Structure 1
Amino acid sequence: MSATPRSLLSEGTWPPKPWWNAPPGVWTALAWCAGLVFTFLVRLRLPGEEEPLVLAGVVFYRWDGLTFLALATALALDGSRLLSRRPLAAVGRLLAAAVLGTIPLSVGEIPLAQFLAVDVALYFVAAARSRRTGRIAVTTALAVLAGFLATRWLSGWNTGTSAELAVALTAVVAWLMGTSAHESRAHAEQLRERSTAQAVSDERLRIARELHDMVAHSIGIIALQAGAARRVIDSRPEQAREALGEVETTSRETLAGLRRMLGALREAEVVEAGRREGPAGTPGLADLDGLAAATTAAGVRVEVRRVGDQRPLPPEVDLSAYRIVQESVTNVVRHAGTRSCRVTLEQRDDELSIEVVDDGRGHGATADTGYGLVGMRERVGLLHGDFSAGPRPEGGFRVAARLPVPAGVR
């Protein structure tokens, strides 16, 4: 039986990394070895050929030619070892290896096979290092190629200018590919940072909206209780004492909620997938009866009607529904001038409908007045629902919202 990931972890053995995740130095060393093998193969008569593609030089198979190739290989491997820590020094060693490797070949240019490791190194330097380092590396490579040609020209030796131009082109292409990879990585990092900043901003905005909803409702209740206590403090001191007790209780609960939310605001924790859990004690429709009781005790009777099967809702739908009802009831307390209101919750398979109506004098000439209505509209919009609010023809005010329920929660 093959080992599972859990058993591998328990045994202290990690699965090996994929071969394509090898360090850059490994790829550079492999490129040099591949070029070296190719150098020997093109100087042999392979099956199907009448003669080798390239004739071997006089010293190619002699001890001195093989010694130069061995020294060049040592330089290339040392450069590959330094590539991750000292990229420019590594490129310098690889260029020296490419030049040294041409001595036993009897050629008029640095062949592409000897320059392949330099191309690979240029790509990794441009992709992983700063732009300045990448430009220095490619400029050095082109300068070495130009210096090699100039030396042969001045010496009167045969020069493979066309082949050398092709090698220079591969160096520029490798550098451009590395630069493109570097810019793509930088752009992806900027997008991640921007996404994180946007998520933090959204979280802070959500908490600010929570603060507004909670404080506005609590202050409305406190104002009602304080007004009732002031009116009956002389004639009915016991009722005044009860009202002041409600003021104290509501104030303490509001202060505790503020402390929780401010703590969450300082942490600014971002939860992925758009479903962010609120701070401890986040309310939902299960707390609606407590909201109705507190508002009724303050002097405005809240009747709650539930229609349909009451099934669990997603956290964001549950919280938004509670806040919509809370804000609507707060508006009734503060603006409607009535003693009662009715809250209807109708839960279907694919949506939750909310309706809050009262028989008061209304609290807004249109459906877009007041920050509370704007906040409710934003909540519903974020959940791709429908929202409406406005005076009723028969009198009073009506707030209605429809919140879709995701299919996975039905």
Structure 2
Amino acid sequence: MALPSRLRGGRLSPRAADAVVAVVVALIVVVWTLIQSRHQSEPTSHTVYGWLLIAVGCGALFFRRRMPVTVAVVTLLACAVYYPLSVYDGPLMIAFAIALYTTAAEGRFAAAVALAAVTLLAVGLGEIRQQPGHRQIDDTSLAMLAGWLISLVAIGRAQRTRTAYLHEVAQRALAAEREQQARARQSATEERLRIAREVHDVLGHSISLINVQAGAVLHRLSKKPEPEVALAAAEEALEAVKATSKDALRELRATLGVLRQADEAAPTSPASGLGLLDELVGRAGAAGLDVRTRVEGTPVPLPPPLDLAAYRIVQESLTNVTRHSGARSALVTMDWGPRELRLRIDDDGEGAPEDRPLGSGIRGMAERARAFGGELTAANTTDGFRVDARLPLTVSEGDLR
């Protein structure tokens, strides 16, 4: 029985609580015995043995949770010797009652029931052996003792069940909290990766085009053309850089719009999608790449997330063609089927080195396709390089989030 005592604002440790219980029970027994000794007397040897039994019975309570059965047996034996020996009849039985309760509360239910039964049988046999008229406990008191012992065991059992239930609830709450934290971390990681992929696609494509355009005009200027020709080339390149950077800023604002505060206005520019494919092709053409588009089948409206994924795949493919392949032309084919959209981007460049793994851009495109239940492959062809993506037109609600 743990006392609800507190020490300096914190709960007592189990050992400290056991020590407090032992001291409190000892004080009760000692005070009761001293009061009784004023009105009754007994042989000195009996008094000495009585005090020793009180010390053993009360002191054993300090170990009640570490050795519950042993402490219960010790306190029971101390009571069995003390009460026939001493005339004071002090409340040493309290020590056994606490020890019996602790035995049941610590999960030793069978031992607690056995000790209660042994106690009741011993008391009953002891009273039966008394001479008529000399019984210390009548039948009513014996029945009350039986109920008292049963109640101690039952309360201890209930406390054990309650403690186990509270521990299970705490463990479930802790597991649920950990699972929630893990899901939150996973969601945050996925969102960071998504935003990083969007920023990579937007900035990678635009900066690559600006780099190509700037490199082309510098190459032309290095040949020292006539001032009029040089000025026209510079103006053309600057106009292309201006248009490309403007488009990049528009897409970047739309991409980072997910990070705006709740009271901020949503971006008003249209979201990227296949509807802006002509602008994308035009920017690639300004960088010197001849891009043609071909549509097969009947186009259908796409959900915004799927439309954006298709656009990004084409955008990243053209970025790779501009930056790495050395190609002069590219063909974007959109094959609209009844259940899926096939995107093929073919170029006439040098292709990818066979001994090098595919770059992060292609891995990002493949992740976009897989996010909607599709797939993407990229490989060299006899004429250059091909990116082939399959995007199902029917996607689940979870994929559109």
Q: Give the TM-score normalised by the residue count of structure 1.
A: 0.55
Match of 1:36 in 2: none
Tell me if 1:215 matches 2:203: yes
Match of 1:345 in 2: 334
Equivalent position to 1:289, from 275, 278, 294: 278
Alpha-carbon distance in 2 for matches of 1:217, 1:207: 15
Match of 1:359 in 2: 348
Contact 2:293 2:331 in 1 (8 A): yes
Matches within 5 A, 1:101-250: 149=97, 158=142, 159=145, 160-233=148-221, 234-235=225-226, 236=229, 237-250=231-244
Give the counterpart letter for 2:242 in structure 1.
Answer: E
Match of 2:377 in 1: 388
Tell me if 1:253 matches 2:250: no
Match of 1:372 in 2: 361
Shift of residue 183 of structure 1? 2.0
2:272 alignment partner, SS class: coil
2:284 alignment partner, SS class: helix
Tell me if 1:329 matches 2:318: yes
Shift of residue 227 of structure 1? 2.2
Q: Deviations over 1:44-86 (max 9, x none)?
A: xxxxxxxxxxxxxxxxxxxxxxxxxxxxxxxxxxxxxxxxxxx
Alpha-carbon distance in 2 for matches of 1:231, 1:172: 86
Shift of residue 356 of structure 1? 0.4
Contact 1:204 1:265 in 2 (8 A): no
Q: Give the TM-score normalised by the residue count of structure 2.
A: 0.56
Q: Deviations over 1:123-158 (max 9, x none)?
A: xxxxxxxxxxxxxxxxxxxxxx977936999x9864
Structure 1 residue runs without a partner (length 5+)? 1-87, 89-144, 269-276
Q: 1:408 to 1:180 in 2, by over 3 A?
A: closer
Contact 2:374 2:391 in 1 (8 A): yes
Alpha-carbon distance in 2 for matches of 1:213, 1:151: 73
2:327 alignment partner, SS class: coil
CA-atom RMSD, angstroms?
A: 3.6
Shift of residue 328 of structure 1? 0.8
Alpha-carbon distance in 1 for matches of 2:203, 2:218: 22
Match of 2:394 in 1: 406
Alpha-carbon distance in 2 for matches of 1:304, 1:250: 20
Q: 1:191 to 1:402 in 2, by over 3 A?
A: same
Alpha-carbon distance in 2 for matches of 1:309, 1:355: 16
Contact 1:364 1:370 in 2 (8 A): no
Q: What is the aligned length?
A: 258
Contact 2:253 2:267 in 1 (8 A): no
- Over 3 Å off, 4+ runs: 145-153, 155-158, 231-235, 255-268, 277-282
Q: 1:405 to 1:326 in 2, by over 3 A?
A: same
Shift of residue 316 of structure 1? 2.8
Q: Percent identity?
A: 37
Shift of residue 192 of structure 1? 1.7
Match of 2:295 in 1: 306
Structure 2 residue runs without a partner (length 5+)? 1-10, 12-92, 101-118, 120-135
